[in-house]
Structure 1
Amino acid sequence: MIAARPTRRLQRWVVGTLATVLVVLLAPAGVARAAGAGDVPVPPNTGLTDRGVGALSAADKDFVIKVRLAGLWEIPAGNMAQEKSKDPRIQNIGKNISAQHVLLDQLDREAAKKLGIALPNKPNDDQQLWLDEMKNANATTFDQIYIDRLRAAHGKIFPAIATIRASTRNDTVRKLAQQTNQFVMTHMTLLESSGIVDYGALPTAPAPAAAGKGPVPVDPGMLQAATSSAPGINTSVILLVLAAALVAGVVTTMRIFRAR
């Protein structure tokens, strides 16, 4: 009995060590699966260049102009929110959105100058109508008009940002699109914090395309490259082989100790 104790301790040590190694080897796969569920942080803007390099399309130019137009009406709208609203929440939302659009407008004008794009100096007709509507609203109706008009405008710009961010060949436009998207998401969140968004009145999104017929085709080669550590070698397969080898080692070790 006394002689068996060191053997059992050694047995536990071997099994524990092999189990630990197994966990370490399989951990990357678990982390990758968790990351795929949304745990991966958003890449910073510092990874994007801004040299004005790359072909400039008509859509790129239109996007830069639209960013400018957004500031031309949302800055005065935010100022009105601070002056006309009696709700501190709306006043604060207007203050923040207005201030952030001042910064975004500066980024947009710098990009336009670098790319030689002429920018407008006044809102378009629709935007001016929204500003007039807010100007003529009283303290009772202003808040709902302000929140509804800005949220609708921000909701419409999302598809345009996504298209430009994914398709532009110009690095300055690419970075501006990413920056704009971050501002727009912040503004949507601020507007919804008002607590007066009528979600039931929002337009219904278009029905999704049939399976396998969506607008974004999946490239099998890219999919394989994204899930492989080397051409033709899948990381998951390698980990499974190593895990099987470790399990076999544990079983063999157990048999040896039992034989003793």
Structure 2
Amino acid sequence: MQRSGNVIGTLFVGGALALTLGALAYPAMLGLDTVSTTPDRVIANTQWGPLTEGERDFVVKVRAAGLWEHPLGQIGLQKGQSKAVKIASQHLVDGHAALDTSCRKIAPMLNITLPNVASPQQEGFVTQLKGESGRQFDVDFANILRMTHGSIFNTIAKVRSTTKNTLIRALANQANDTVLDHITVMEKTGLVDFDTTVFNQTTPPKLPKSDMTPPNPVPGQPQVVLNPPPNPTSTPLDLNAAENGARANGG
């Protein structure tokens, strides 16, 4: 109990992070709060299977997740104090670069417009951690990212288990593997306060949708690309496999 109290004390220094964790961190932090009014409504019939509103939003939100977590991983490589935090940072950069490539591949195939900027809520986390250093950075980095990845895990599973679209299914497979990996490396830092994490995952506050929604890209603006590290270990989707899956399903 004493250790937990010390960690919590570190987390809530000055009340600033208490506000952040209490007011910002919950499933929508990764952009997977329900945006659609009718997520199960089919909006297009494609050669890869029907596409629903919820599945379209899933692709947009996976892209948005990378737009804040990839740069945060780069920040962690520079500012992280412990080896475990630096390793976790490498996983963020590596995993989200591959996921982003997959999103940018399938979005035009499904006529989905991708954002170039994360949501205001997500950008707020980046701003906060940019202003921190030392152990405070490491602790907040591990706890914020463990919480947000934990929040998204069940949503990915639901998309994977219900979609009839082979491209969405493939992206959900990749997202599931990536998020589980990121959950694991955050836990390996030894800095995660599980009581606070579970509390914030299961009792989300309500925020305006404008805070949780990435803005539409500016017309004519070049698409932001999240570059992989020098020696990447994560790989984007194999679209040939998705094409074969569509043919096997009669698409």
Into which bin does the TM-score normalised by the smaller protein fall?
A: 0.5 to 0.7
Higher relative contact order (CA 8 A, sep 6+): 2
Aligned equivalent of 2:167: 172
Residues 53-72 of structure 1 correspond to what in structure 2 (within 5 A)?
Answer: 53-72=48-67
2:98 to 83, 92, 103: 103
- 1:52 is displaced (CA, Å) by 4.9
Aligned equivalent of 1:203: 198
- 1:171 is displaced (CA, Å) by 1.0
- 1:122 is displaced (CA, Å) by 0.8
* Aligned counterparts of 2:152 and 2:77: Cα–Cα separation in 1: 24
Aligned equivalent of 2:8: none
Residues 46-195 of structure 1 correspond to what in structure 2 (within 5 A)?
Answer: 52-195=47-190
- 1:145 is displaced (CA, Å) by 1.1
* Aligned counterparts of 1:153 and 1:203: Cα–Cα separation in 2: 10
- 1:166 is displaced (CA, Å) by 1.3
**Aligned AA for 1:99?**
D
Number of matched pairs? 156
Pick the structure with greater CA Rg. Answer: 1
* Aligned counterparts of 2:162 and 2:74: Cα–Cα separation in 1: 35
Contact kept? 1:52, 1:115, Cα under 8 Å: no
**Aligned AA for 1:201?**
T
Gaps of 5+ in 2: 1-45, 203-251
Contact kept? 2:143, 2:197, Cα under 8 Å: no
Q: Deviations over 1:58-85 (max 9, x none)?
A: 0000000111011000001101111112
* Aligned counterparts of 1:64 and 1:203: Cα–Cα separation in 2: 26
4+ aligned runs moved over 4 Å, structure 1: none
**Aligned AA for 1:112?**
A
SS at match of 2:50: coil
* Aligned counterparts of 2:91 and 2:152: Cα–Cα separation in 1: 19
Of stretches 157-166 and 51-60 in structure 1, the one that deviates more from structure 2 is 51-60
Aligned equivalent of 1:249: none
Contact kept? 1:75, 1:98, Cα under 8 Å: yes
Provide TM-score, normalisation by structure 1: 0.57
Provide TM-score, normalisation by structure 2: 0.59
Contact kept? 2:147, 2:198, Cα under 8 Å: no
**Aligned AA for 2:118?**
P
SS at match of 2:198: coil
Gaps of 5+ in 1: 1-50, 207-260
Q: Deviations over 1:126-156 (max 9, x none)?
A: 1110000001112231011111111111111
Identity of aligned residues (%): 34
Q: Deviations over 1:156-214 (max 9, x none)?
A: 111221111111121110111111101111111111110111113233587xxxxxxxx
